[in-house]
Amino acid sequence: MSILTSSSSPSVFICFLIIFLLTLTTPICLSKTARRQLSVDYYAKSCPQLEQLVGSVTSQQFKETPVSGPATIRLFFHDCFVDGCDGSILISTVPGSKVLAEKDAMDNKDLRKEGFESITKAKALVESKCPGIVSCADILAIAARDFVHLAGGPYYQVKKGRWDGQLSMASRVPSNLPHSNYTIDQLIKLFNAKGLTVEDLVVLSGAHTIGFAHCNQFVSRLYDYHGTKKPDPAIDPRLLKALRMSCPHSGGNTDIVVPFDVTTPFVFDHAYYANLEGKLGLLSSDQALFLDPRTKSLVQEFGKDKLKFFQAFAVAMDKMGSIDF
């Protein structure tokens, strides 16, 4: 079981200083002025080498900094769940503004810089070959797919044609992202609001087969679950002991991170679901998927059949990637 320490650094400028998006005469990222029909071959004529360009960056990033994978996938999730997949998570707060951008919301403070850096590098390369054509939102969607595949997950076609949003508000984030202590009822309600089903909830949660969480996301499970002054009974004693060693009840190193998947933390597979069956889920919201009859059977199905999970994940990512409010 690996326990890692995350590094912190100042926010990076995204998409060629997109913080000035509202004041530039010709924005680098394409503005969202009308709804477009998404299609796999959207850039077939205007930028036919797009996937290869992004792929060259993601493959290099994955080799040099493997954490870029889960960081970018999470970035895509956080973008899509807040007012659609419009790249607004990439916008930085305008200096001096009292209105914070999405990336500066408290719920997004733990988004790793490697995810932003991956998109910045990919955007720079794409712009050098296809200037002013490809949206940052599409690059983010492609990069997320690439990292899923590079980590061992399915390869699926990405529909393209998204506009980049100009509006990015931190105040929109809390009510639109799932929280680590959400109940199944709360999760289903949130996903339904995005046009996603109970199966989509279970499938997309499987992205936690890679990635890490800070102690504050689950520490209450270890010491004071729901105010009982006792640990969550739905956590394996061995995992509880290991987590307590790294995450004290109070104080401790706030940079400590723990893998969502304690068995194969760097591989995109279906072990996440088997872990839930064995009481090895890290977050309360993860473990709840196995405890609720509405989601338990799906957890069991995906835990037994990796191909079925991969196929369902590809479909669910396409569905989520088409969210546009």
Residue matched to tokens 């990439």: 90
Let me know the angle formed at the C-alpha of 182 by 267 and 310, rounded to the nearest 5 degrees. Answer: 30
- Laid out side by side, the sheet with 256-259 consists of 4-5, 256-259, 212-214
Let me know if 78 is a catalytic residue.
yes
Which among 145, 152, 144 is positioned nearest to 90, based on CA atoms?
144
Query: Cα(95)–Cα(175) distance, rounded to whole angstroms?
Result: 25
Residue matched to tokens 């991969």: 310
What are the angstrom distances between the C-alpha of 302 and each of 130, 162, 185? 40, 31, 21
Which amino acid is residue 288, in one-letter code?
Answer: A
Query: Cα(88)–Cα(58) distance, rounded to whole angstroms?
Result: 20
| Catalytic-role residue among 78, 149, 214, 270 | 78
Looking at the DSSP bridge assignments, the partners of residue 257 are 4, 214
The pair phi, psi for residue 279, each rounded to 5°, is 60, 35
Query: Cα(119)–Cα(89) distance, rounded to whole angstroms?
Result: 11
Query: Cα(230)–Cα(203) distance, rounded to whole angstroms?
Result: 31
Burial pattern 260-283, b for ≥16 Cβ within 10 A else e, equals: bbbebbbebbbbbbbbbebbbbbb
The pair phi, psi for residue 47, each rounded to 5°, is -155, 70
Burial class (CB in 10 A: 0-12, 13-18, 19+), 311: middle
Residues labelled catalytic: 78
